[in-house]
Amino acid sequence: MLLATKNQSLQIDLAGAVSANELPWSVEYVDRSIDSKIEKPGAVRGVTAGATDTTMLAAPANKWGSGFVRDIKNIQIYNKDTAAATVTVQILDGSTVCELFKATLQTTETLVYNEGSGWQVISSAGAQKTDAALVGATLALNKTLVGGANNVAAAAGLIRSKVCHFTAAEVIAMNATPLVLLDYSAMLAAGECAANDTFIFHGAILQLDGGAAAYDTNENTTVEYQTAGGGATASLTLANFFNAGADNKMSTLKPLATDIAPEAAQDLVLLASASPYTAAGDRELNVEIFYSVYSRV
């Protein structure tokens, strides 16, 4: 998870006032140059302020030029209150709020984010919560599953995350050559999924940064199921992500309003309705995708 510009900060708030105790939180991160030649780890800690937005991690300082980012490695939020608390973690990008994750923590439960494995709730006994109610709430929130021949098992599958980095040259060519977010064959070979498993898309954060020249075409961006060398079968769209001078920004792509049929044994890819042409466009694209892996029934 990245804070990539001086306008982006990580925040937390609660649904309402606490009964007795505010919730302590901690964030571990690495400040690094975009070429990774300079890295400096850091950590911050604090407590919530009820329903008031509280900054957990400030925007990256411009220490090493425009290519400097703040890479979030771990977040932990512990419910020290005597009652359940609904926690929202979000990124403030200028005046735009991008909600990342919301969960209701029972007393003494902990919400944890780890780079690579995503979000999870740890029970008071120290175990990862995987009960049917938690998984059912996740599926209901994201409205991804539909019935029919492609129905998938909903008894397991926690949300994972993966960060992908793409060069300006790859962005310019993404209409002809889709950007692969989840490579089914590679993940199968690595043991990260099983044969004929299905990737369930829960959302993504897209960030353009690191260059001076914008892409000049106002184009939609889509996440799609796509077989190797084949055409797209279903998609979810983010309108006008590439938008001339305004495209040095962060946007979120969520399937909250659209039901699509999950498809087994296929990659998840990112492409644009037309390539965002400008030979001088030099902004790199960072994508953090949130997904689950399910086995067909």
Contact 113/74 with Cβ under 8 angstroms? yes
Least Cα distance to 293 among 218, 198, 155, 185 occurs for 198
Q: What is the DSSP letter of 22?
A: P
Q: Where exactly are the structural domains of the chain?
A: 2-129, 160-294
Q: Does domain 160-294 have CATH number 1.10.3470?
A: no
Question: Which class for 220: exposed (0-12), middle (13-18), buried (19 or more C-beta within 10 A)?
Answer: middle
DSSP assignment, residue 1?
-
pTM of this prediction exceeds 0.75:
no
Share in percent of the chain as helix, strand, coil (round to 5)? 10, 50, 45
pLDDT per residue as tens, the chain (297 positions): 888 778 889 999 999 999 999 999 999 999 887 666 778 899 999 999 999 999 999 988 765 445 678 889 999 999 999 999 999 999 998 888 888 888 889 999 999 999 878 888 888 888 877 544 444 444 333 333 333 333 333 334 577 888 888 888 888 888 788 899 999 998 888 888 888 888 888 888 888 776 677 776 677 788 888 755 444 455 667 777 776 565 556 677 766 445 566 778 888 888 876 655 566 677 888 888 888 888 765
